[in-house]
Structure 1
Amino acid sequence: MVTATLNNTVLASSDRTQVVEGNHYFPPDSIKNEFFKPSDTHTTCSWKGVASYYNAQVGDQLVPDAAWYYPKTTTDKAKPIEGWVAFYKNKVDVK
């Protein structure tokens, strides 16, 4: 089981994560939506497509762009993580 936490609060937990480029991508149904707000940030990966970001908030602590996902991937290789959420390890504990 892989868990993403912020201030000892579970943001996501799953035994079905997929590891891509060293990052655990969590299935959408494992994310606790109440801790996430959409960010205006977007970046582009040459083989995955355009990433959208989430800000995470637990109590008074807001962590901008703590997580990202690809709402629509651009290659067949990236399709398995389409819509799945990954976390920045320097912003959220992932174990």
Structure 2
Amino acid sequence: MKAVLDGVVIAEADRDDVVSIEGNWYFPPRAVREGALNESPTPYTCPWKGEVQYWNVSLDGAELADGAWSYPDLRPGAVERVGTDFAGYVAFDRKVVVSD
């Protein structure tokens, strides 16, 4: 699967390595291109997943503020609810096209 913003591939992984949660595809950290994400200070906490780390996407001219997010430290029960450990996995804003 690929995550593409303005024609630039931001992340790429086998479908078996990504996790679908609530309509979003979460890519393992190793699938995200080096240097594509920069930490954002935007705060948010999901009631069942935990505290979010937002990321600004910036790579090869493609830019999107708060265009990605991850959950570095999952709340108890989150892994059981999803069926797999997705701590640190990265999901993308809808402006980033994710496809097979």
**Is the pair's TM-score, using the shorter chain for normalization, greater than 0.5?**
yes
Report the counterpart of residue 93 of structure 1 in structure 2: 97
Are the equivalent residues in 2 in contact too, given 1:14–1:26 (CA < 8 A)? yes
In structure 1, stretches of 5+ residues that fail to align are none
Q: Which runs of 5+ in 2 are unaligned?
A: none
Contact 1:7–1:58 (8 Å) recurs in 2 = no
Number of aligned residue pairs: give it: 93
**1:1-95 matches, cutoff 5 A:** 2-15=1-14, 16-78=17-79, 80-89=85-94, 91-95=95-99
Shift of 1:69: 0.1
Aligned-pair distance for 1:62?
2.5
- Cα deviation for residue 57 of structure 1 reads 1.1
Q: Which runs of 4+ in 1 moved over 4 A?
A: none
Q: TM-score, normalised by structure 2?
A: 0.85
Partner amino acid, structure 1, of 2:85: P
CA distance in 1, matches of 2:78, 2:65: 28
TM-score scaled by length of structure 1: 0.89
CA distance in 1, matches of 2:43, 2:32: 20
Deviation at 1:77, TM superposition (A): 2.7
SS at match of 2:10: strand
Answer 1 or 2: which has greater strand percent.
1
Identity of matched residues, %:
35
